[in-house]
Amino acid sequence: MTDSRRRNRAPNNHDEMQQKAARNIHIRESAAATASALSGIAASPEMPRLVSFLQEVCSEIENGLEPNTPNPHLNMVLHLLRCHCEGRVVSPSAMVAASGVPYATGTRKLAEIVDSGLVEQRPRTKSGKSFSLHPSPKLLHTFKQFADRIDRIAQAAYGGAQQSAETADYYYGGSYQAGQATIPPPRALPQSLNLAGGLRILVHGDPTFMVMENLKRQFEQIVGTDISQRAFSIDRLREEGLRNATRNKSRYDLIAVDLPWLGEFVKKGVIRPLPEVMDVSRLEPSDFHTAGWRAAHWDGVPYGVPSQTTPELLFYRKDWFAEAGLEPPTVTDDVIAAAKAFHDPRNGRYGVAWNAARGTALGHTFMMTCADFGQPIVNLPKIAGGYDADHLERDDFRPMLDTDRARAAAEYLMQLMEYSPPDILSMSWYERVRPFASGSVAMAYGYTLLAPYFELDKTCAAHGNTGYLPHPHGPEGVPIAPVGGYVLCIPANLSDERLEDTVEALIAFTSPAAQKLYAQEGSRTSPRYSVGTDPEVRSLSTIFELVDQMSWRDELQFWPRPPLPQISGIISACGTVLHDMLRGLVTPAEALADAQARAEAILRQPVT
């Protein structure tokens, strides 16, 4: 598989860029080929900083001491690494110009670097007469080790006598212990992608996909072609995905598919089964979180690759709970009690925020709340750890929306209403997190992909004061973290001549290297175990380790929103009927009877 790492940021701009990422959250991704050979390579996220530091030191030495001789090898290597971090194309003439020596000497020194295996060449034209230069895995590995040594020398000289536990571990073998290896940085594909008009991607306008834009230049350099990305809201994304399937030729090479839509997109022939176009083992399936990878399948066949795995959790203000002497809530009764304790509308404080907007938003909330009370929305077979959502090819499923457990879930939502902000009935995906981030709400249900709004913005009241929990459960439920997120899929009507290169892009964009880079740019989603255990990623947020732990405890589940082909209609129906209930227009019993009847009618409709 490929490798990944953070793009360069000047050290004095780091906080500014992090806060920008929190508001504008965008992303784009990465490399390819030779993964097995790189699996043990470590990569520091501070490479751009060190490159800049060494360039300045070399400049000072060359200009401040006379006589002096330039170091062309070092000058060219540093220039190449800096351009690699910034996503800029490097030509042989530019390398020679950076050497600081006469052209003939620089040309000879460049040949020596290429011959040593530190630099790779990628053709820029069909004739192969023009090519760009890129750091090889050997150079990235060597520079990482070099950077570690420079860092320790600098700390010893200027950092005082104190030594961190991490630094001390180095001398006692800590850096060689299991789980300490970091994921290596991205490298350029050996061959540029040959896609007329560039690579075209259809995505959701959420924080993780939006981080891609911040990295666009870097990954265009890595894949060797332009990248264009269209982003839509969740409902418009589904509509555009279905509309695209009616065209003679797909407008997109890759499309993002929300996990619950998978069955519908397969049944309607929108996406291709991956085994038909690639060797699925190249994706390293065992590295994906189990629930996220299973959710990418239909009838045992993978149709997409997890691009983001983002469970919905309960965010809570650790400082408020500590001051009030309250334990974090683990059951729904605890949520109500805590919400009541913190609810103080006169002083602008509210107990809890959640998705209560009419339609899709509330429909998702109700399904996941039913799961908290142990109730799947249809009669899924019960298995160890939950319910079987792997086998949905049947056409005899019955809705389970008018049951005692579903009634308990609906009544729980009615209780939440009492301690919610006044605009709760219009709150959807982002609106629920904003008041939590600003400090007016004690708890909020939210996907991990929304955490950057307060984790990356130091001005937020919730910054550094947020704890994360799986959904508190009802009397007949268990702790659960309903899995959300998207898989990247290849459209069924993609032109055959674009397939091979699109597969390479798919592998690159979902690689451990890509996922690590997304995290370093502000994303808080991670579909891979290797990314969650990367020490550099873990240092960014507690979310990554917590989600891994939830996965190991089998709390990450996708059955709360099973990818039935008719799921979108059921979500919309539930979100409409339950909204009337929350407004007091109908009772919970009436709302659930109506939802049951609508869902039965929807399930009887053929999917074509």
Distance CA 564, CA 267 (A): 10
Q: Can you name the residues that pair with 383 across neighbouring β-strands?
A: 386
Pair (496, 550) in one structural domain: yes
Residue 148 has pLDDT above 90, yes or no: no
**pLDDT tier for residue 28 given thresholds of 50, 70 and 90:** very low
User: Residue 107 is part of a domain; what is its CATH number?
Assistant: 1.10.10.10
How would residue 433 be classed by pLDDT, with cut points 50, 70 and 90?
A: very high
Report yes or no on 223 lying in a domain: yes
Residue 190 lies in a domain: no
Do both 470 and 516 map to the same domain? Answer: no
If asked whether residues 393 and 509 sit together in one domain, one would say no
Least Cα distance to 389 among 259, 573, 283 occurs for 259
101 within 8 A of 90, measured Cβ to Cβ: no
In a domain, 274, yes or no: yes
CB 266 within 8 Å of CB 298 = yes
Does 569 lie in the same domain as 456? yes
Contact 254, 488 (CB under 8 A): yes
For residue 24, is it within any domain? no
pLDDT given at position 539: 93
Are the CB atoms for 473 and 408 separated by under 8 Å? no
| Statement: residue 30 has pLDDT above 80 | no
Quick check: 179 pLDDT over 60?
no
Nearest residue to 25 (alpha-carbon basis) of 252, 198, 154, 209: 209
Closest CA to 339 of 454, 418, 408: 418
Q: How far apart are the first and last CA of the chain?
A: 36
Same domain, yes or no, for 394 and 515?
no
Q: Which of 32-36, 313-317, 540-544, 568-572 has the lowest mean pLDDT?
A: 32-36
Average pLDDT over residues 392-403: 94
Domain CATH for 390: 3.40.190.10
Domain match, 444 and 477 both: yes
Instruction: Clarify whether residues 167 and 209 are in a common domain.
Output: no
Which token pair is 165?
């536990």
Of 135-149, 201-215, 224-238, 258-272, the range with the highest mean pLDDT is: 258-272
How confident is residue 173, by pLDDT bands cut at 50, 70 and 90? very low
333 close to 389: Cβ distance less than 8 angstroms = no
Is residue 10 one of the residues assigned to a domain? no
In a domain, 17, yes or no: no
Last residue of a domain, one of 144, 176, 208: 176
Say what percent of the chain tops pLDDT 90. 63
Q: What is the pLDDT of residues 410-428, one digit of tens each?
A: 999 999 999 999 999 999 9
Residue 291's nearest CA partner among 386, 400, 183, 179 is: 386
The DSSP code sequence of 271-318 is B--GGGTS-GGGG-GGGB-HHHHHTTEETTEE--EEEEEEEEEEEEEH
Number of other CB atoms surrounding residue 169 within 10 Å: 15
Q: Are residues 122 and 224 in the same domain?
A: no
| Prior bond of 135 cis (ω within 30°) | no
pLDDT at site 348:
95
For residue 51, what pLDDT is reported? 81
Over residues 77-104, the mean pLDDT reads 84
Q: Please state the domain count of the chain.
A: 3
Q: Supply the pLDDT for residue 164.
A: 47
pLDDT higher than threshold 80 for residue 323: yes
The string of DSSP codes covering 206-272 is SHHHHHHHHTHHHHHHHHTS-EEEEEE-HHHHHHHHHHHHTSSS-S-SEEEEEGGGHHHHHHTT-B-
What would the two tokens of residue 13 be?
A: 């701009």
Q: Please give the model's pTM, rounded to 2 decimal places.
A: 0.76
Shortest CA distance to 441 belongs to which of 354, 565, 334, 383? 354
- Opening angle at CA 160, ends 156 and 166, nearest 5: 65
255 alpha carbon, distance to own chain's centre: 15
Same domain, 265 and 388: no
Does residue 147 sit in the same domain as residue 166? yes
The neighbouring-strand residues paired with 297 are 302
Q: What is the mean pLDDT of residues 13-36?
A: 37
Q: Are 417 and 424 in contact (CB under 8 A)?
A: yes
pLDDT tens-digit readout, 226-247 = 999 999 999 999 999 999 999 9
At 499-511, the pLDDT tens digits run: 999 999 999 999 9
Other C-beta atoms lying within 10 Å of the C-beta of residue 164: 10
The residue behind tokens 């060219």 is 76
Q: Which of 123-127, 190-194, 538-542, 592-596 shows the lowest mean pLDDT across its residues?
A: 123-127
Portion of the chain with pLDDT greater than 70, in percent: 87
In terms of domains, do 290 and 269 share one?
yes
Inform me whether the pLDDT recorded for 170 exceeds 90. Answer: no
Q: Which strand (E) or helix (H) includes residue 583?
A: none
Residue ranges of alpha helices (H) inside 419-451 are: 433-438
Residue 3 lies in a domain: no
Give yes or no for residue 459 having a pLDDT over 60. yes
Give just the sign of the alpha carbon dihedral 566, 569, 575, 576. Answer: negative
**Could you report the per-residue pLDDT of 539-583, keeping only the tens digit for each?**
999 999 999 999 999 999 999 999 999 999 999 999 999 999 999
Domain with 396, as residue range(s), is: 318-483+564-604
| pLDDT over 80 (residue 462) | yes
Q: Is the domain of 469 the same as that of 596?
A: yes
Burial of 578 (0-12, 13-18, 19+ CB in 10 A): buried
State yes or no: pLDDT of 387 exceeds 60.
yes
Q: Which residue has the higher pLDDT, 317 or 129?
A: 317
Name the band, by pLDDT with cuts 50, 70 and 90, for residue 181. Answer: low
Whether residue 34 is contained in a domain is answered as: no
